[in-house]
Structure 1
């Protein structure tokens, strides 16, 4: 396959629309000029204009400047339409499930397309005033920033899979005793800690934590939030990594962001809610009406073979 053909397949085929199910689309465009025609299949001016618009810039440039490339591209365009037209010859009587498989795929594609088209043309109202109300009624959801805490620790590693912890806990208790005796936390971290990420930094844990932090060991997180004031430290705490002595370094109090900082987020959420509700209403318009007719006898007959089917 030539480079041009490869580019064509990547840049065009993905944008080919669903073929007409009953008649050649060019017949529906009798008011348009026929630009390419062969073997009973044709491409109209409007049709080709849309195809070219969806080519990549490289393909458009090739077709505009090279006659050979232009012929190859037009050949590909028409070939796609010829192949797609073969689907028009399928019938439920002659082709059975093959026909219905294609029919259901076409229906689904058309349904998805129409919903997308509906969404693309939907006019969303200005949500500014409603966003102000939402800010007041759901401030915790949109504006609340949880209290954050920074910490340091001394870690004596102990993998529970191959460590009973007796020796390691004893070493942690030794470091704790020195801390209580007045030695500096940072110096003890450099001497005792086995956490390579914080040891050289005096035990500093480089992350602000809140009560909902998920990527930190639960025992460590709980211990940080049990401390009252910066400078307070725990007794020896066991986690999945070993034995810690944890110090609270700093607290950033909880607060609510001002409206202007979260306005765009609230409006985006309201617009999304509006779209979801509107699409549901759009879908509901096509549900059963009061005049619906159902041949329950036939439906029962079709479903009967599945009565004993296991879920």
Structure 2
């Protein structure tokens, strides 16, 4: 497979070259910046070339990019003028695929840009948040030790009236120990199963028997339980609108494809491994 002229090479060559003078006082998309063998290179060509550069190259200074892109396009034009014979299949097929992809992308962009009805947004919000069953959140603290015997001894001290936070600061090996074992608020799925299952069965103010997890042995105190509140519409509007637009696009794709005259029968019986035959492209 032939290699393309790289952008890095173009930057290197252009380092010693000056900028061409523009023919118009106010640059436009069709402003000609160079002519190679009678073929015009415009600012539009340069803009689209820059937009397709990898992110690391787009961070280069504007003057460096201008010189590098212009030189790249000049070299490509000069080289293409020297091409003789028929284009290889890999080139013509790539051009066809690229054209098809770009046109399809424009259709999708147009669908995505269509305005959304506020009632549609509100309905999606109501379905996803407002009418959803609230979930529980828990505020708990724990004392983590290495052995069951240590945990049982701590539970006994607590049953006898010891202060939970003081024992946590004194005994807990977990990172929450210095804070009195406080874990703050957490919801379902945020703790390991054995810990979570114990908390969900407790009443506020209760202290659990020792619970074993992969981290060690826990003695847990459940402080409070509350229902989660649905976020305000404006807080999730962007997320909801994106979901609606994506659904709209998917629906449109299916409808447009269904209406198209499609016949895939010729693909039946072809060995899928044939796609590896890249030598056919030469």
Structure 1 length-normalised TM: 0.63
Residue number in structure 2 paired with 1:309: none
Residue number in structure 2 paired with 1:77: 73
8 A contact 2:140–2:182 mirrored in 1 = yes
Distance 1:212 1:88, change over 3 A: farther
Residue 220 (str. 1) matches residue 195 (str. 2) = yes
Instruction: Give, in whole Å, the separation in 2 of the partners of 1:234 and 1:134.
Output: 41
How big is the shift at 1:63?
Answer: 9.7
8 A contact 1:172–1:245 mirrored in 2 = yes
How big is the shift at 1:147?
Answer: 1.9
Aligned residues between the structures: 245
Residue number in structure 1 paired with 2:280: none
Instruction: Give, in whole Å, the separation in 2 of the partners of 1:305 and 1:187.
Output: 68
Distance 1:305 1:189, change over 3 A: closer
Q: Any unmatched runs of 5+ in structure 1? A: 10-31, 92-98, 158-167, 307-311
Residue number in structure 1 paired with 2:239: 265
How big is the shift at 1:249?
Answer: 1.8
Q: Which one of the candidate residues 178, 186, 191 is aligned to 1:200?
A: 178
Task: Please list the CA deviations of residues 219-258 of structure 1 after superposition, one character each: whole Å capped at 9, or x if unmatched.
Answer: 11221211111x2111000111111101112222233345
Instruction: Give, in whole Å, the separation in 1 of the partners of 2:65 and 2:33.
Output: 18
Residue number in structure 2 paired with 1:150: 139
Instruction: Give, in whole Å, the separation in 2 of the partners of 1:284 and 1:239.
Output: 53
Task: Please list the CA deviations of residues 92-122 of structure 1 after superposition, one character each: whole Å capped at 9, or x if unmatched.
Answer: xxxxxxx333333333222221122222333
8 A contact 1:149–1:248 mirrored in 2 = yes
Task: Please list the CA deviations of residues 114-155 of structure 1 after superposition, one character each: whole Å capped at 9, or x if unmatched.
Answer: 1222223334132211222233344368x6653211211111
SS, match of residue 232 in structure 1: coil
Residue 176 (str. 1) matches residue 136 (str. 2) = no
For the pair shown, which has the larger CA radius of gyration, 1 or 2? 1
Task: Please list the CA deviations of residues 200-234 of structure 1 after superposition, one character each: whole Å capped at 9, or x if unmatched.
Answer: 111112x4211232xx32111221211111x2111
Distance 1:185 1:274, change over 3 A: same
SS, match of residue 251 in structure 1: strand
SS, match of residue 278 in structure 1: helix
Distance 1:82 1:4, change over 3 A: closer
8 A contact 1:144–1:257 mirrored in 2 = no
Q: Which one of the candidate residues 79, 82, 96 is aligned to 1:107?
A: 96
Report matched runs for 1:121-140 at 5 Å: 121-122=110-111, 123-139=113-129
Report matched runs for 1:1-311 at 5 Å: 5-6=10-11, 35-38=34-37, 42-44=38-40, 47-54=41-48, 55=50, 61=63, 74-84=70-80, 89-90=85-86, 99-122=88-111, 123-139=113-129, 146-157=135-146, 168-195=147-174, 197-205=175-183, 207-213=184-190, 216-229=191-204, 231-288=205-262, 303=270
8 A contact 1:233–1:246 mirrored in 2 = yes
Distance 1:61 1:115, change over 3 A: same
How big is the shift at 1:57?
Answer: 10
